[in-house]
């Protein structure tokens, strides 16, 4: 397995975000990076997604355009639309009918 220190892995995760991108940087697989994260007890960036999605919905309800929101979070416009539509659908499903 590659010799990547815990601090270096944390720094790379902030910069590159994805395990696959970190692996490409060191010539190792995404799975090897995942194993290193588990070994060092470093959480996945994905764990922050619910908070990010709430912020996206708040900005969208405030009238910000999807392209501006996408740029702010470094996402594609299509993925930002997907997050918005999934969160709208989730909210509607959670309502109780009387």
Phi-psi region of 13 (alpha: psi -120 to 50; beta: other; left: phi over 0): alpha
Average predicted confidence (pLDDT) for the chain: 86
Work out the pLDDT band at 92, boundaries 50, 70, 90. Answer: low
Q: What is the mean pLDDT of residues 28-55?
A: 89
Taking each helix axis as running N to C, give the angle between helix 19-26 and helix 30-40, from 0 to 180 degrees, rounded to the nearest 10.
Answer: 110
- How many angstroms separate the CA atoms of 22 and 33, rounded? 7
Q: Is the pLDDT of residue 94 over 70?
A: no
Q: Where are the domains of the chain?
A: 6-43, 48-94
Q: What is the DSSP letter of 44?
A: P
Residues 52-68 pLDDT 10s:
999 999 999 999 999 99
Q: What is the mean pLDDT of residues 63-84?
A: 93
CA distance 60 to 7: 35
Global pTM reads: 0.59
Over range 28-41, report the average pLDDT.
91
């Amino acid at each position: 397995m590659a010799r990547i220190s815990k601090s270096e892995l944390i720094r790379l995760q902030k910069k590159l975000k994805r395990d696959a991108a970190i692996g490409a940087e060191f010539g190792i697989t995404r799975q090897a990076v995942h194993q290193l994260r588990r070994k060092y007890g470093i959480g996945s960036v994905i764990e922050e997604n619910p908070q990010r999605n709430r912020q996206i919905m708040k900005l969208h309800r405030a009238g910000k355009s999807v392209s501006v929101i996408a740029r702010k979070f470094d996402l594609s416009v299509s993925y930002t639309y997907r997050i918005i539509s999934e969160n709208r659908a989730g909210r509607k499903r959670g309502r109780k009918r009387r």
